Structure 1
Amino acid sequence: MKKTDVGVFILRVFLGLSFFIHGVSKFQSGISNTVGWFDSIGIPGFVAYAVAIIELIGGLLLIIGFGTRYIAALFLFIMMGAILKVKLAAGFMGNGQGAGYELDLAFAVMAVFLFLNSNSTLSLDSKLFAKNQQ
C-alpha cells in the first residue's frame, strides 16, 4: 500500500462524510423547506429531493468506495450548480450577508480528484473491479 492510497482514502471518506451529513441535514430540517428554497431561487423543487438523496446515499457509497467515479461526478455537478446558481454573486469569501463559494469549490476540486483517482486500493471498487486498476 502506498502513501497516496492512504491520502485518497482519507479524502474520499472526508468528502463522503461531508456530503452524507449535508444530506441528513436536508431531511432533518424538513425536506419541504429545501424544496421551497429551491423553488424560490428558480430551481424546480423536485431537484431538492434528488440532491438530498445523492448527498445521503452518495456520501455513504463514497465512504466505502463504491461507484467512486460516478458519485464524484454527481458531487461535482451539485457543487458547480451551487456555485453558479447561489454562491457566485457573494464572491469567494462571502459578502457579509452569506457564505462564499470557497467550500463548494474545495468540495468540487476534491470530487475532480476522486473522479480521476477512483480505484484506490482502499476501496470497494478496487476489490470488485481489480482488472480496471492501472
Structure 2
Amino acid sequence: MTTSEIKEKVLNDVVFMGLRSAIGVIFIVHGISKFNPGFANFLPNMGLPPEMQIPIALAELIPGILLIVGVLSRLSASMLSIIMLGAIFHVKGAQSLTGDGGVELDLILLASSLVIVIAGPGRISISQAIKKLPRFLH
C-alpha cells in the first residue's frame, strides 16, 4: 500500500468519525430537549399520546450516543432515519424545503444517517476495535 493510499484511508476514517459525531451530537441535544414536559403537551397536536414523550426522547438520545462511540452504528442510523422520515412526513407534512416548517435540516440528517447505514461506522469506532481483539478476549 502506498503512502497516499494510507493517507486516503485514514482521512476516510476521520471523516466517518466526524459524520457520526456530528449526527450523534445533534440527536443527543434533540433527545434531551424532548424530556421537557412541554414536549409531552405538544404531542397531542401531532396526533400522538403524551405517553410517547419518553420513548421518542430515548429513540433520539440512545442512538446518538451509540453513533458517537461507534457501537451498533448501522442499527442506530437506521432508527434515526425512521425518526427523520417521521419528522419530514408526519410532523412537518413535507410542505416546503425552506422557511417555516421547512425540511432541509431533516433531509440532511436523513441523508447523513443513510450514509452511515450503507457505509458503516468507519475504522475509528469501538465496534472496529473489538473486531481486532484476539479471539480469546471475545
Question: What's the TM-score bracket when you normalise by the shorter of the two chains?
Answer: 0.7 to 0.9
The residue aligned with 2:42 is: 37
Residue 89 of structure 1 and its aligned partner are, at CA, apart by 4.7
**Which of these residues, 9, 23, 40, is aligned with residue 17 of structure 2?**
9
The residue aligned with 1:106 is: 108
TM-score (norm 1): 0.84
Counting only pairs closer than 5 Å after superposition, residues 10-89 of structure 1 correspond to structure 2 as 10-27=18-35, 30=36, 32-89=37-94
Aligned residues: 125
Residue 4 of structure 1 and its aligned partner are, at CA, apart by 1.2
> Which secondary structure does the structure 1 equivalent of 2:15 belong to?
helix
* 1: CA distance, partners of 2:61 / 2:32: 6
1:92 and 2:97 equivalent?
Answer: yes
Structure 1 residue ranges, 4+ long, deviating more than 3 angstroms after superposition? none
* 1: CA distance, partners of 2:114 / 2:90: 20
TM-score (norm 2): 0.82
* 1: CA distance, partners of 2:104 / 2:131: 34
Q: Is the 8 A contact 2:98 2:104 kept in 1?
A: yes
CA RMSD of aligned residues (A): 1.8
Whichever residue aligns with residue 72 of structure 1, its letter is A
Whichever residue aligns with residue 79 of structure 1, its letter is M
Q: Which has the larger radius of gyration?
A: 2
Residue 119 of structure 1 and its aligned partner are, at CA, apart by 3.9
* 2: CA distance, partners of 1:78 / 1:102: 15
Unpaired runs of at least 5, structure 2: 1-5, 133-138
